[in-house]
Structure 1
Amino acid sequence: MPLTDTQIKNIKKQDKPKKYSDGGGLHLHVTPTGSKLWRMSYRYEGAQKLLSFGVYPAVSLADARKKRDDAKKLLAAEVDPSVQAKLDKIHKRAEAANTFNVIADEYLAKLKKEGKAEATLTKNRWLLDQVRTDFGSRPIAKISAAEILVPLRAVEAKGNYETARRTRSCVGAVFRFAIATARAENDPTFGLRGALINPVVNHRAAITQRKAFGGLLRAVWGYEGTAEVRHALMLMAHLYPRPGELRLADWSEFDLDKGVWIIPAARTKMRREHVKPLSAQAIEILKVQQSLTGGAGLVFPSVKSRLRPISENTLNSALRLMGFTQDEMTSHGFRASASSILNESGLWSADAIEAELAHVGADLVRRAYHRAQYWDERVKMADWWAKEIDAMRTKKTVVVAR
């Protein structure tokens, strides 16, 4: 007959182990010490086997019966319950070991091996730190969208909408890495895209009108601060690289005889080497700067240490001293200035301009086309742009044929 809770409670310890059957192979094994263990006897592929369900009363009679019924369902599907139980334990151990923190650290290590810049790694670490306290110790496969939203809302509450958006994106990258390594099945951040406040995009200020840009050039060429800062701003106008690419430039990257600047992949936004043609005017500025710093090391070292570059704040501060507010012009704005005026000239293909700006699309064929087919055009464009700069800052109107 099936067991009852009252009967089980009244069972006393005995000199020898004894079994009390509940039916369907389920029985209670009582040891001489009085321990009451749930077990199930069954046959699989002709062999007699035994399955353990736990200790009474931690595992109740109802729980034991459910475990027995689940085991019978597995047997009906020709699955050995003992093997399945071992697999379930392995899965739980792996799940407990694969926490968000563990996967996040592996993801960061992967980025480092892929050669991502230290600034990128630092930014990713900082973004992930926004959520580690909330669910970092949780198994990644168990984390829900609702859990992720909690720290994101906390970031939003401080008015940091862009940080919240980037944190969601970074957390999503960790989940996709977990999916790729078979430790998660879905990315819960996908459903949060519409839950966060979209930040207002503030484009970097830039002067894009030819006449106004001429005024900026005159101010730069007449800048009375340090020669190094004046030269850096002059080259920002001539070459319009990303500010960090110029500030961190090393003399080893320049071949003034051939008129090229090779920006290494580690310092470009796209993580691909970028070669820029140098006009005669740009080469002359570099030669003057070289006479000040020598031909080795940083092109624009800090006044405090030759081992450290000038900062972007240094360039922007110089623009402020010249009377240009942060809403009018930034060091990064030279890129938009050049792009606008070059495009408006109608003399150069948009693709050549984009290639010079190192704006590379996703099409691999198009990348190769940018680098190779447009090189001659970019060399001519660099020469034209240098002459236009001379014309704009001297208030002349000169159109140079290609």
Structure 2
Amino acid sequence: MPRLAVPLTESEIRALEPRATRYCVADGNGLVIEVMTTGTKIWRFRYTLNGKRQPLATIGDYRMISLRVARAKAQKYAEMVAQGTSPVATARRDRGAESKADVLREAADLYLSTAMSGKSAEYRRTTRRALDKDVLPAIGSKSINAVTPNDIVAICENIKSRGSPKMALHTRNVVKRLYEYLIGRQLATSNPADVVSARSIATFDSRTRVLSGEEIGTLFRSIDASSIRRPLKLALHLLVLTMVRKSDLVESRWVEFDLDNAVWTIPAARLNTERDQHVYLSRQAVAMLRELHQAKLRRNFVFPSVRGDDRPIARSTLNQAVKALGLEVEHFVLHDFRRTASTHLRAIAQQADALDPASISAQGVEDPAEIVEQRRMAQRWADFVDVQIAAGSKR
């Protein structure tokens, strides 16, 4: 029995490297991709007609035809072969009718059907909205390599004139990611959005950036749906729930936690202060820490390095994880979590007619009433974050 081909993925196809001689890799159902010595990748259809193996039928250039479209064509040709008809003439006509994707509108369609396939529904929706509303009506008919930085600036200025600087920046970032994809697929030679700086479009005071409830939900739904390692997802959640500095979290040790009493004591020596800092933990935070504790591979650190030695992950690891996700939250850095939590906590405290805490942690707190209140606020904050995450999932 012939061995069945394992279906390919877009990332596997992109990773195929040229060799001294051209070679084929099968996707299944007769579809193969041929890698030329130049690095060009061509979709082909392999079939047998009337008991004889036939020459490969060409479907088209991988740069211009997505995996999804290639599979659909292979299925059509397989059905023709099953009826005793050669697909060669049809494949030739299809190639003639196939857009060369050298126009931005068609390149954007290719981008949405391939690069977006593994993204969340919300990510795809916001990307498509930016392209359909502002980018493609303005420059969709232009050749990919004819788009200039001035075109991007004009689009952003038009959006800003509607009073939406954040949307202008988001749209510029969508175009930038689109061209990064096209360059990787050898359809574009340069990125016109690269030279348009974010600061020239919209500026934000980094000392006042606060994520809205909707942005908190968007952020964590994207993180949860991503492929980053589970411990890093939990670290990002804990960073917002505990309101501590990033370095305090990533360098934390298990000896600092009393999960039964839901308190984390950060030693004064690690903080370079005179007193220990007590961080009161919500039920959600405790559950996340228990999950990490059950799965721990090292003895000391909550977030150990994957390199095998007993040390924590680098401070930059969480930043790199967030950056790699391409999140739809503009001008956001991890330090904004602390300011965001503090701002929302004040609003929550006012609604609950409670104290107005600056945080859910304190140094040397001894007043039992204040400790109780801080525990309450920690739980209210965690519940608020859960509500924001759930809100978008119901849309």
* Greater Rg over alpha carbons, structure: 1
> What is the TM-score with the length of structure 2 in the denominator?
0.43
TM normalised by structure 1 equals: 0.42
